[in-house]
Amino acid sequence: MTSYMPPSERVWWKTPIGRDEVLWIGIALVWCLVMFFMMPYWHIYGKQNLSNEAYQTNAIQFQAKVDAMVAAHQVREEAHIPVVRPPAGSDVYMLGRLWQWYPILELEKGQSYRLHLSSMDWQHGFSLQPVNINLQVVPGYEMVLTVEPDQAGEYSVVCNEYCGIGHHMMLGKIYVTEN
């Protein structure tokens, strides 16, 4: 019998299931359950999935918060982009837009910050390298995550969501200083 021929027994569903088939169904079921419970397990212990908050916002509101932070805490400029050094423990903001991350943040090692992210226009991807933290950044939503940088250095923010002709140039920066 093949799958494209009608079964020889018309009442095929009363045929007992073979033992090896039951075994495979059992293995598949157990594996499904393992995979299912790995989702919450990995969320808690995998150190990869970010527990984040999201709020509704819009481009005008979010831009206002970014501008307020830049006005209060700008320390210098790099290639016409302000470098901002907000106080330790504060709320810090970064926006994505075609094709730029704005502004450049300078954070202090070992201090905790609440990082707010949003997009002004299209969907962008916040990919923090080389630590490989990834988040979708979408217009209309303000994502908030608590970050505590544990290593000083220069980090790149790479857009990893295709956003048009300038996508590959959409690079941002976060500095982490010793103190």
Q: Which residues bind ligand CUA (CB under 6 A)?
A: 96, 99, 124, 159, 161-163, 167, 170
Select 111 or 136, whichever has its Cβ closest to ligand CUA: 136
159, 160, 163, 169: CA torsion to nearest 10: 40
User: What are the residue ranges of helices labelled H in 46-125?
Assistant: 59-73
For strand 113-119 and strand 91-97, is the pairing parallel, antiparallel, or unpaired?
A: parallel
Per-residue tokens: 53: 């908050």
* C-alpha dist (Å) from residue 83 to 23, 64, 70, 71, 142: 61, 17, 8, 11, 21
Q: For residue 29, give both structure tokens.
A: 């079921």
Among residues 62 and 99, whose Cβ is nearest to ligand CUA?
99
Supply the minimum distance, in Å, between the C-beta of residue 61 and ligand CUA.
20
Residue 169 CB, shortest distance to ligand CUA, in Å, is 9
Least CB distance to ligand CUA at residue 176 (A): 23
Tell the smallest beta-carbon distance from residue 80 to ligand CUA (Å): 18
- Side chain identity at 179, as an amino acid letter? N
The residue (of 105 and 120) whose beta carbon lies closer to ligand CUA is 120
| Residue closer to ligand CUA (CB basis): 74 or 136 | 136
Taking a C-beta distance cutoff of 8 angstroms, is the pair 170, 159 a contact?
A: yes
**Which C-beta is closer to ligand CUA: that of 109 or that of 173?**
173
Q: How far is the CB of 164 from ligand CUA (least distance, A)?
A: 7
Residue with token string 């790479």: 158
**Which are the contacts of 57, defined by CB distance < 8 A and separation ≥ 6?**
118, 140, 141, 142
